[in-house]
Structure 1
Amino acid sequence: MMKDPTREPHRGWAPSVRSKLLIFLCAVSLLPLLLSSRMLVALGGRSARTFREMEVREGLQLAQGMLEASRERLLEGARAVAVWDDLAAYLRHPQPEWPQTSLEGWAPQSYKLDYLSLYDSQGQPVYCWSALPADVALPADSAFLDPDGPLSGLVSTPEHLFMAAAAEVRLDGTLLGRVVFGRQVNHRLLRELRGSREHDLAIYYGDRLLATTDTTHTLLELDPAEFFPNLVPHRETYLYYARKGDRLIGLQTLQNVQGLEVAALGWTTSRTPAGFLQEAIDRMLLSFGLPLIVLVLLAAGILGRWIERPIRRLSRTMEEVRRTGDLTCRVPDAGRDEIASMSRSFNQMLEQIAHQRDELLTFRTMILAMKEGVLIEDPGQQVIYMNPRMEELLGICFEPSGEGEEPFRLEGRITSKRVITEDERGFSTEEVEWTRPDSERVQALKTSGKLEDPSGKVTGILSTFVDVTERNELELELIQASRMAFLGVYSQGIIHNLNGPLNTIMGFASLLCKTQPDAEIPQRIRLDAQRMADLISSLGRRWRRTGESRLELLNLNEIIREELRFLEADLFFKHNVEKVIDLDPALPYLQGIYGDFSHSLLNLLINAIEALADSAVHRLTVRTRHTFQEIVVQIEDSGVGIRQEDMDQIFLPFFSTKRRDRKDGLPSGAGLGLPIARKILEPYGVLFSVRSEVRQGTCFTLHIPLKPGQYESVRHGEFGEVEL
């Protein structure tokens, strides 16, 4: 039976790290009981004053911390009120009743405020509330109105000291104003900070005692002039011994928001030196002596073998991986405790990273070798990567932008011509173009898709660019070659081959008419020959105009009529197709190249006629309409129609829904008629729309925009309904 390599081998009971620490702490906790007698003897001869000073210093630090915590609570309260939407609305459109109903009834009681002020974005006061007596002047809040000023601190007036905090009121990033909370530094505030009744606090401001919790009058009778000269330069805890009351007082300067020492915080206790000694002994009984330190060192050595050694092995392996990049390094994972489990997890992580690194290297090699440009953008459309082929297409040397540098973006550098397809996964393909720094014009097919993490969050956009500049040029050459082939085959050859025999027929017909003036047959021969000569002459003019590339005023009705007459050479079209021709009699002239519209309309008409070959109903409908903005041409057939799944591809070169290699004389398409028509009319801004239903027919609609000053109206009634 094979052994499962992923299954951990069974071992006996192994204590976890938590169990090891529990054993250690149980052993160490017995030490104070063994050393208590010796500690009492050692502490009996120590100076009580030393412990008294220690407590005063610690008490003063605690009082400072509580004063700082009170300031932080005040700042948090101001910030909590500053985010109110109602407050932002009030600062934008002040209403006198809102502060009384929504602010005064809640904020002062919740944060024990003595005053509250609101300022607009220009620093002008909007509202002020105060619970102080009328003879107590409020401090100036100018320090908090400075954008670079402090957010909280002490402010003062000549007679009083206040603790204040300010917060900005913003809405959608716009500064609307500021809210200021304030409390007077008085007896009530000190009673909140005192904590124990055995301790007393005092605030000295200027040359007097501003507030105190002392009831023995020791602090009341203390003259600040005795300690202020030594306190200000000391800048640390200053100890002052008051003989009256046997008090040791700890003093610390307090700075206002301008950074000036304006006051002093005092802390003292009413306990006797004997009380200090007793408390110091109790405190030392709870601490550790030299034997305990030795025991801790010994225990640390033991724990080092249990805990520190595997951690050091893990640390050395991590350092080696960081230094060398070798992901084959592994950490020994013997054991079943948490450290061994962490080592196994680390080894598995190295295996996953190595696998992902190999995949990334393969992916990077593929991207570097691709003939298509690859570009990655972050969700903010900032370019973070492009392969060498993309750099070549853009004609730049890409470097990721650093801090403070302008990010590289495609926006404004490339122009989108049209979206070709977009699938259900969100990948879109569009034709774009741009101009390189060397003035070379590049056309490309851009395919873009979103990059998502396992949670579905969009982390970037991946785009590929296929250079189709050469292909588009070949398409233009193919269009030109197709046009020239059409002109050569259908025009020049017919004219050349028919002119000679036709001249002979017309000559003999004229001779017969002279010798037999009353005969009917010679007259009919001469008239039909003349009609044929006119048709050949019209064909010659059409060929010459199609070959020209000059702008002229075009009448689309006239072009459609000429193309329909030309197509009557097809006997199927002439005798078997029902023609419904509805041309707008007031259709405006359009400025363009005759061959562009002639060739495009002919392609659409040929497609419609060929679609009728397999249909039971043979009907062709051609309509023209116009508005002030556009000319609309509709070519509709009752043919076999186009399947819905083929609609997105009918304008792609070489795509055709017609059957190929037909031997029965029916049409077989090469898939170039529609792409050529669309490409030719693209410079005119012509939009194609298609409506089709299988076995019902297809309707192609051309929307040709009209530009003011580039057309003239045809006289009403000049063209009407044409019957062929």
Structure 2
Amino acid sequence: MLKVKKPKNLQALILHLSTNFINIAPDEVDEAIYNALGIIGKFTNSDRSYVFQMNNATNSITNTHEWCAAGIEPQIDNLKNVQLIQRPWLNKKLHNKKPFVIDDVTKLSKDAVKEKADFMDQDIKSLVVVPMVSNKKVIGLVGFDAVKKPRKWKNEEVELLKIVSDIFANALIRRSMQKKIYESEEQYRLLVENLNDGIVISQNEKIIYHNRQFAEMLGYEYEELVNADYRRIYTKEGLAILEERGRRREKGEDVPSRYETIFKKKNGEHLHVEANVRIIDYHNMPATFGIISDITERKNKERYQRKLEVELLKHQKVSSAGLLAGGIVHNIRNTLTVIIGRAQLLKQKFPDLKEPNIIISSANKILQIADAFTKKAQKEQIEKEIDFNLNDLLKTEIVYFEANQYVKNRVDIHLDINPSIPKIHGHYIDFSHAISGIIEFSVNAMEKSTQRKLQVQTDWDEKNILLKITHTGKQLPEKDMSSVFTPFHSFNIFAGKRIIGKEHLSTMQLFNAYILLERYRVKFQIETDSENQTVFTLMIPVSG
């Protein structure tokens, strides 16, 4: 039998509830929920507190747990298999996945006729409900009722219910999974692999509470994280995400309670996690309460899927370019040869006429572009790794870009190369697509700039070939500077999405560059120089 004492304040209540549900046995979950409902019901002076669980197959909810104050009639036996299809207002509220507060049931809108009748049949005057959500699906709800008289619910009571909803949802899902271990060894294996949720509370940059699962997932002994600096467990990218959330919160923006970040394990490895956090008041000071789930395997799968998508896109482009180079370009060359020949005859016949020289010069420029295109297509079709010169690749890409009249007439391109750089060993197509993507991103960034200057530089030292691409266009947001060339930043935008907003399409080119060149251990940097120009730096290891 679980022993329960009524906490003295909200902070003690939250710690008490979260502690009671850590490592709780499956056969103790119901009792723990009943006890918790009694504690929070008394703490908030509610007349009734309860849990409903969802049956998605029948789109219905059932009252599974209930606490009632003295003199309040229980309703649990009357609320089985409540059909949501007959209660569209309630159904919509639940699937919005947000709390809803009703201070006076009699003032419900006309579209809640059925729900209003249900509430009044139960003598409910006021209520507050928070959906229980797991893996983005509604699995039930937790609520408070006022039966004796209407009342207004305090914000801290709603926040308490949110935290309780998360705790109950985790406990119920965990119990559901734990029960399945008796059915097969495979289900037991899945349970062990997936039940790695940690609980942590931090305040004043210190971890003031954590459970053993949290320490274990990070590779620490429990005692090593007691009162530890919370920044110790964050990567550079994770800290940047945390700071950005803090800035948004200070501005009064709506910051999602669930978000993905990257922790650093004791051995230095990165750990992708989903954090479900709430800001609570602890000893009259704000603190962060978090439930942490390891999502590394899911992120690796998403990353692999994105790699396959990039590879498919790359080969589709190569196939199209090969067909174009083999057909259309050939016809263009033949036609231009005829034009140049006729212009030369015209020049011989009329030596003072200027037009033949203009025709010959223009035709030769088109031939130069066609040759560059053919050279690019031919090299991109080579399936094996080869040695190639980065400077030659850049010259080809610049000619290719200058074939676009917008780029040629409105963008001032400077190529500053070191002719002594060593050759690169790899797939030509990986480097051509990655670099052209960054150049195209830079050109697009200068669309609305008064000054459009693109500078491409190469150099090298003993360890790396250095490629710098500088543009005078729109700068990336400061928060993206350190993470734009990382899988974490990009997956939040692109993974699993079929439709991508226009504002993110250009950023995808940077992500693709990272995906294409990470196999060659290329390091990426992005910064703003003293003239407020954006500088992309690629450090390409010298082949040994």
**What's the TM-score once normalised by structure 2's chain length?**
0.47
Which structure has the bigger radius of gyration? 1
